[in-house]
């Protein structure tokens, strides 16, 4: 049996950019586990505009699946959609029988083969951070953090001067005036100068796409996602999974632990800002389901020691906004840890294993053991969802 995996990135993410693969850790880990069962695997990463509307992004995902399966013939193996952050909403909208997408219907002929939709740290009920990103100051911050994400993951620890200037500007954005925005722009430019010309051009094109189309930013607000939840239906026969994580709330003690590492202190300050913005819960739109089944609550309490409140988050998405369908895994991790972007071994264990890079210091203490348990849980969910396809293999 052949599994087809389709990975969809989130708001800060990208598919493959300037020779760096955002999903490299998760993709290789899942492919390895599925092949270990004796099955064949084919994987794809969709190239979507990072902040374009969920409808546009879902259409791109649908086209990728349609074109890559057009010549399958008798191969009717399972198809799995795996979305991180906003990418999980793209997958849900694409799968929904109630959706109307800008896609040729012939490119959706694969839909009966859809086995599962797996969402990682997805804002199913919105995130307060989106409301801030919709402001003028927030748009600049989104641009800057996206640049920092790529530079941090591809280069490692960005130059301290550029990174510290950027983070200082971000920390003042809540009361920003023109001066602070100009400082932020200059800091972002300084950060991009560490890239060679070829990579810089590609990254700037990616960042320009963020400034040109921010439809998803508006759609990810808690108020807008209230409508999404009411109108986007789950497809019968498809298994819906989610993974959930949170980082411990920032504290002076956790920040002080990074003082011996200058980049760590800067990164921790940035995370504290993101965490604080995401924790701004509105009682009218609390980014949480009005009902959670007992089994899910038990899993959450087991993972975190207590039932998490509506203000706790992974730095980008509230914990309770991440729940949808069967909960496969829950644990302490920030928004990027769950993709394999965490502090891990400095050398590759084998030629196929990319090095772990952690630029966002959240204090989650996510490590190799938690990573293995997370990927094992996702792989097991994909295999369970594929059971009904064995007779067609």
Q: What is the pLDDT of residues 141-190, one digit of tens each?
A: 888 888 888 877 776 666 555 666 666 666 665 554 444 566 667 777 77
Judge if 252 and 306 occupy the same domain.
Answer: yes
Judge if 128 and 259 occupy the same domain.
Answer: yes
More confident residue, 137 or 95: 95
In 309-388, the DSSP E strands lie at 326-332
pLDDT of residue 18: 72
The residue written with tokens 């439809």 in the block is 215
Q: Answer yes or no: is pLDDT of 13 > 50.
A: yes
User: How many folded domains does the chain comprise?
Assistant: 2
Pick the last residue of a domain from 184, 213, 242.
Answer: 213
Provide the residue range defining the domain that includes 61: 1-134+214-393
In 74-210, the DSSP E strands lie at 79-84, 114-120
| pLDDT per position as a tens digit, 249-275 | 987 766 666 656 666 777 788 888 899
Distance CA 51, CA 271 (A): 20
Judge if 364 and 283 occupy the same domain.
Answer: yes
| pLDDT per position as a tens digit, 79-131 | 999 999 999 999 999 999 999 999 999 999 999 999 999 999 999 999 999 98
Pick the last residue of a domain from 213, 246, 269.
Answer: 213
- 80 contacts 6 by C-beta, under 8 angstroms: yes
Q: How far is CA 357 from the centre of its chain?
A: 16
- 263 contacts 343 by C-beta, under 8 angstroms: no
More confident residue, 163 or 237: 237
Judge if 145 and 103 occupy the same domain.
Answer: no
More confident residue, 250 or 386: 386
Percent of the chain with pLDDT over 70: 85
Distance CA 267, CA 112 (A): 44
Judge if 104 and 142 occupy the same domain.
Answer: no
Judge if 49 and 142 occupy the same domain.
Answer: no
pLDDT of residue 304: 96
User: Checking DSSP bridges between strand 40-45 and strand 2-8, what pairing results, if any?
Assistant: parallel
Helix or strand run (H / E) with residue 244: strand 239-246
pLDDT of residue 390: 81
pLDDT of residue 343: 80
Q: Which whole number is the average pLDDT over 329-356? A: 77
Pair of tokens at residue 218: 């508006």
Q: Which of 8-17, 105-114, 352-361 is most confident?
A: 105-114
Q: Whole-model pTM?
A: 0.91
More confident residue, 352 or 139: 139
- 89 contacts 288 by C-beta, under 8 angstroms: no
Judge if 160 and 246 occupy the same domain.
Answer: no
Pick the last residue of a domain from 168, 187, 213.
Answer: 213
CA atoms within 13 A on the CB side of 73: 1
Binning pLDDT at 50, 70 and 90, where does residue 347 land? Answer: very low
Pair of tokens at residue 329: 């895994």
Q: Which of 58-67, 212-221, 343-352, 379-388 has the lowest mean pLDDT?
A: 343-352
Judge if 379 and 317 occupy the same domain.
Answer: yes
Judge if 302 and 358 occupy the same domain.
Answer: yes
* CATH code of the domain in which 220 resides: 3.40.50.1820
Query: Mean pLDDT, the chain, as a whole number?
Result: 87
Judge if 174 and 308 occupy the same domain.
Answer: no
Angle of CA points 38, 43, 45, to nearest 5°: 160
Q: Which whole number is the average pLDDT over 218-234? A: 94
Q: Which whole number is the average pLDDT over 369-379? A: 97
Judge if 255 and 108 occupy the same domain.
Answer: yes
Q: Answer yes or no: is pLDDT of 2 > 70.
A: yes
| pLDDT per position as a tens digit, 279-328 | 998 999 999 988 889 999 999 999 999 999 999 999 999 999 999 999 99
Distance CA 350, CA 152 (A): 23
Q: Answer yes or no: is pLDDT of 227 > 50.
A: yes
- 45 contacts 23 by C-beta, under 8 angstroms: yes
Judge if 243 and 367 occupy the same domain.
Answer: yes
């Amino acid at each position: 049996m052949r599994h087809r995996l389709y990975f969809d990135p989130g708001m800060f993410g990208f598919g493959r950019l300037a020779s760096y693969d955002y999903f490299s850790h998760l993709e290789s880990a899942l492919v390895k586990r599925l092949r270990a069962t004796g099955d064949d695997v084919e994987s794809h990463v969709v190239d979507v505009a990072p902040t374009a509307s969920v409808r546009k992004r879902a259409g791109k995902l649908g086209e990728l699946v349609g074109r890559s399966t057009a010549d399958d013939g008798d191969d009717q193996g399972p198809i799995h959609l795996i979305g991180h952050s906003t990418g999980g909403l793209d997958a849900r909208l694409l799968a929904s029988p109630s959706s109307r997408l800008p896609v040729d219907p012939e490119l959706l002929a694969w839909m009966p083969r859809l086995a599962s939709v797996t969402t990682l740290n997805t804002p199913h009920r919105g995130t307060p951070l989106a409301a801030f990103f919709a402001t003028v100051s927030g748009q600049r911050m989104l641009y800057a953090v996206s640049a920092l994400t790529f530079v941090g993951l591809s280069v490692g620890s960005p130059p301290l001067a550029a990174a510290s200037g950027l983070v200082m500007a971000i920390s003042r954005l809540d009361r920003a005036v023109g001066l602070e925005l100009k400082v932020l722009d200059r800091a972002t430019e300084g950060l991009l100068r560490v890239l060679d010309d070829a990579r810089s051009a590609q990254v700037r094109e990616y960042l320009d796409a963020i400034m040109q189309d921010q439809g998803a930013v508006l759609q990810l607000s808690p108020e807008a996602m209230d409508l999404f939840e009411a109108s986007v239906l789950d497809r019968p026969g498809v298994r819906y999974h989610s993974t959930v994580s949170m980082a411990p709330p920032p504290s002076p003690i956790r920040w002080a632990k990074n003082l011996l590492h200058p980049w760590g202190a800067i990164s921790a300050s940035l995370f504290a800002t993101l965490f604080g913005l995401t924790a701004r819960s509105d009682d009218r739109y609390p980014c949480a389901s009005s009902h959670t089944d007992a089994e899910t609550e038990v899993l959450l309490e087991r993972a975190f020691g207590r039932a998490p409140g509506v203000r706790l988050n992974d730095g980008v998405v509230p914990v309770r906004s991440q729940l949808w369908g069967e909960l496969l895994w829950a644990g302490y991790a920030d928004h990027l840890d769950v993709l394999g972007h965490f502090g891990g071994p400095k050398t590759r264990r084998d030629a196929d294993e990319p090095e772990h890079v952690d630029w966002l210091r959240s204090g989650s203490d996510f490590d190799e053991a938690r990573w293995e348990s997370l990927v094992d849980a996702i792989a097991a969910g994909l295999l369970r969802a594929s059971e009904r396809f064995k007779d067609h293999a």
